[in-house]
Structure 1
């Protein structure tokens, strides 16, 4: 009996020892080996601490620069100086500081996530041309950001991602998007009638916080276009996703085990995730009862059933999870980023009345007072330049991040498996070596010759991502922006409200911290 107890105790202790060794290797030795491989090639960076990596230093730098960034933001629209839109050092001061200290390519870590930050445009070009599935989305998107993204098209990898792309991407091809233009115009017109009523009740002028209304509008458009439902049905999903996004933006990624702790922060995430998933499944159930056209949701439902019946889904993915994850991805990417981009566009046109007048004259000449037609959108050259310049100055997505799923080589640097390659989009979009000396100024004319004529290395312009993982919905987003802006320009003139406070912030996406308040006057 005593011998059996000793054997059992030995087995338990041995198991704990093996587990300890595995954790020690995964959390300490493996990240250290990856960093050493890069250090031997001359890649430098701040020294990380155990468990937290460089998170503490990163936070310290952000706190130090917050006052400087705030003072720059407060003065941006006063004198129209050359640093008018130079906000990146206030929002991402750690990138700016470490880039100066360690060069255009450096490494740092958040917890046990090892990051190779690249601001070298030539290397970015090489990465953009890579078609290998060995370069994929980072694993933390489906784990740390799992409640928001799951393993949908934005966060999955390999053959599973390729199958999702085959289902979803065709719905956003240019020819398919043309069929949605009328719907976009009708939804926008409904919103503008509300604005007109407000303006009339205030003597022809009214102040509106446009970012809130544009979120509702974009949610309505993506819901009706892709899911065959109206905004009323999707309202709970949109509002809860926005709340979840805000909650998750306050958390820290990369610290092992942190997301499993029953903290107040995590409990709020779990609650929202459950509510969102149940709401989506309820919408799916109602949708399946309808005899509707073969919209995107119907394609996702059919694919989930087909994959489930054929046993092609990964072992940890149920048909319901496949549906929920991809619906959340499309809801999040399809309405939040477009609404924010439209808000920044209106802010910039309000701050630059000469460009507002040029864009309006073009819209009235080509479209008149009618709804813009699908075939006329490409003729709106000035408006296109305004949108491209807005996406350069205020890209909604802050980073392109890829994980080396196997060892890869870019520009002679051997990047070991498991390293996260991070490309800070705003930094490259405001690099004077790539653009020109007025890089911080709003100048849509720079895009008169297209992206290739504006940027010395066109691959460094990436508001929709880069390479094989470029946003599948970019044609849809561009059409939506043109429709919304052209209709607003045809009905209103607008200027910045004194209440507007210019303060870009990063909350998973780059957004105006205090909203966008504008004064509208009915034409």
Structure 2
């Protein structure tokens, strides 16, 4: 009997070992080679698959080389710097190419019509998380898929309606005014001073988000920001190597620190949310900040559920329960912080850099702003009438989109262009390639020319859909109006008081290492009081 049990145990261990061996073999070799064969048969070209790592080591090596120093001269054509491996691959093999993200082939898509179709088919082409650590930073609306995304978007959407932005403009005023007061102190003696803009704008954006989202100052939310920034730094490092399933559970110093950060962030946000919920339960009106609007929308969703639960059976079948748990509200708050801050600060910093590089446009914007507001605080209605400011912001978004590329995974076999792409691969939508393509924007596609947007986006694109600054389709950035309004407030208030020029120490170095397009070595500008 003992021998029989021993034999059974040994057999089970062998079966488990063989099963795991087969799964690993399929993951690291059989499936990648099958997908590679499928792509090459359809005319796609790329490097031959290398076990487990694919092209990741070479990609990291080339990025380290190109970002080791700034660009030799100021140029808006920075694609070879941020995507050196992809740039070289397209140069070598043509437009129909793929690269290896570990054992997963990634087809590079630069055709705007293909990009548009992919972004419209949100259930077939879903967002991919290159490393599970990313999901731990925030698991809010931007990470959801399918019906979960539909429900969450429905709840979050009311907080971003244009009429709600009116109530957030004073928060933008207050944050920008604090930053400007610091600059006025720096320029008080000589009338001018060199300022590293990126750090100021990053903090301004954080402060404005904190005020607009939570009705608190930057100081109150400072700890949340510090923790989120540290968490992002940990994630960026982890993404530079191939993720090994289960490695995040190994009790390394990094993993233990990350777990502590997550706990602290969740505790801080939980306290803020519960205080607000308690006030609302006691009859206090929901505030007009993002959290208040979100909790109000969620409360209405819960009440709607309650109403339908007591309705007839037909209503029960038709109604979809729409409400968020405390954990989900916390994740949306993190998303406000991260997505809002990065989008705004990157758009604003490149706008100031390009206006410093092109003083004629800086002067045109200042004239428009002074003609509209004088030296008074910019108001909501006037901000919506700044035509030249809009032109400049659209041109900055074209040349320096906050997110220069998007990754999507195929959940089914799908047709893209003239190819049938199998399930299991990814597509990299290179938005910046489209934005700087002479075929769609003319011979000056790589030059700063806001005049192209004088008659709006449709006229600038000649009717083509080739402007993806805030993505496209059903998942277009929900906070785009929020970001644009915040940037307009800041830009108007800055240009009312200061003239800007590039400092001799400015080093042009766009980088994409943290997922958004930012100045690697900061943005040194000289401020002159006017």
Q: TM-score scaled by structure 1?
A: 0.89
Alignment of 1:331-480 (within 5 A): 331-456=337-462, 458-480=464-486
Residue 379 of structure 1 aligns to a residue whose secondary structure is coil
Match of 2:80 in 1: 89
The separation in 2 between residues aligned to 1:261 and 1:28, in whole angstroms, is 26
Residue 492 of structure 2 aligns to a residue whose secondary structure is helix
Which of 64, 71, 74 is residue 72 of structure 2 equivalent to? 74
The separation in 2 between residues aligned to 1:92 and 1:345, in whole angstroms, is 22
The separation in 2 between residues aligned to 1:264 and 1:432, in whole angstroms, is 49
Native 8 Å contact 1:47 1:54 kept in 2: no
Residue 487 of structure 2 aligns to a residue whose secondary structure is helix
Alignment of 1:315-330 (within 5 A): 319-330=325-336
Match of 2:103 in 1: 112
Change (3 A) 1:425 1:132: closer
The separation in 2 between residues aligned to 1:313 and 1:241, in whole angstroms, is 31
Change (3 A) 1:350 1:52: same
The separation in 2 between residues aligned to 1:336 and 1:64, in whole angstroms, is 25
Change (3 A) 1:440 1:262: farther
Residue 494 of structure 1 aligns to a residue whose secondary structure is strand
RMSD between superposed Cα atoms in Å: 2.8
Correspondence 1:297 to 2:264: no
Change (3 A) 1:140 1:482: same
The separation in 1 between residues aligned to 2:249 and 2:105, in whole angstroms, is 21
Alignment of 1:148-163 (within 5 A): 148-150=137-139, 152-163=140-151
Which of 243, 249, 254 is residue 230 of structure 2 equivalent to? 243
Native 8 Å contact 1:167 1:299 kept in 2: no
The separation in 2 between residues aligned to 1:66 and 1:373, in whole angstroms, is 41
Correspondence 1:186 to 2:184: no
Which of 121, 129, 138 is residue 128 of structure 2 equivalent to? 138
Correspondence 1:210 to 2:164: no
Native 8 Å contact 1:112 1:256 kept in 2: no
Match of 1:509 in 2: 516
- Per the TM alignment, residue 318 of structure 1 is displaced from its structure 2 partner at its CA by 9.3
- Per the TM alignment, residue 176 of structure 1 is displaced from its structure 2 partner at its CA by 1.9
Change (3 A) 1:185 1:105: farther
- Per the TM alignment, residue 451 of structure 1 is displaced from its structure 2 partner at its CA by 2.0
Native 8 Å contact 1:393 1:429 kept in 2: yes
Moved more, 446-455 or 330-339: 446-455
Change (3 A) 1:107 1:261: farther
Native 8 Å contact 1:281 1:324 kept in 2: yes
Change (3 A) 1:262 1:509: farther
Match of 1:7 in 2: 8
Alignment of 1:14-93 (within 5 A): 14-63=15-64, 65=66, 70=69, 73-76=71-74, 84-93=75-84
Residue 74 of structure 1 aligns to a residue whose secondary structure is coil
Alignment of 1:491-502 (within 5 A): 491-502=497-508
Residue 330 of structure 2 aligns to a residue whose secondary structure is helix
Native 8 Å contact 2:269 2:330 kept in 1: yes
- Per the TM alignment, residue 63 of structure 1 is displaced from its structure 2 partner at its CA by 4.9
Match of 2:262 in 1: 273
Alignment of 1:194-233 (within 5 A): 194-200=182-188, 202-233=189-220
Gaps of 5+ in 2: 310-319
Native 8 Å contact 2:62 2:85 kept in 1: yes
- Per the TM alignment, residue 122 of structure 1 is displaced from its structure 2 partner at its CA by 2.9
1:113-159 CA deviation, whole Å, 9 max, x = no partner? 3312101223223324x245222211446x24112222x11111001
Change (3 A) 1:133 1:482: same
The separation in 2 between residues aligned to 1:7 and 1:137, in whole angstroms, is 44
The separation in 1 between residues aligned to 2:290 and 2:528, in whole angstroms, is 38
- Per the TM alignment, residue 420 of structure 1 is displaced from its structure 2 partner at its CA by 1.7
Match of 1:81 in 2: none
Residue 402 of structure 1 aligns to a residue whose secondary structure is strand
Match of 2:116 in 1: 125
Residue 105 of structure 1 aligns to a residue whose secondary structure is coil
The separation in 2 between residues aligned to 1:186 and 1:445, in whole angstroms, is 32
Match of 1:164 in 2: 152
Change (3 A) 1:436 1:269: farther
Residue 509 of structure 1 aligns to a residue whose secondary structure is coil
- Per the TM alignment, residue 260 of structure 1 is displaced from its structure 2 partner at its CA by 4.6
The separation in 2 between residues aligned to 1:465 and 1:457, in whole angstroms, is 17
The separation in 1 between residues aligned to 2:285 and 2:175, in whole angstroms, is 20
The separation in 2 between residues aligned to 1:149 and 1:74, in whole angstroms, is 37
Correspondence 1:284 to 2:273: yes
Native 8 Å contact 1:182 1:371 kept in 2: no
Moved more, 210-219 or 53-62: 53-62
Change (3 A) 1:256 1:106: farther
Count how many residue pairs are aligned between Structure 1 and Structure 2: 507
The separation in 1 between residues aligned to 2:405 and 2:123, in whole angstroms, is 19
The separation in 2 between residues aligned to 1:175 and 1:253, in whole angstroms, is 45
- Per the TM alignment, residue 8 of structure 1 is displaced from its structure 2 partner at its CA by 1.4
Gaps of 5+ in 1: 77-83
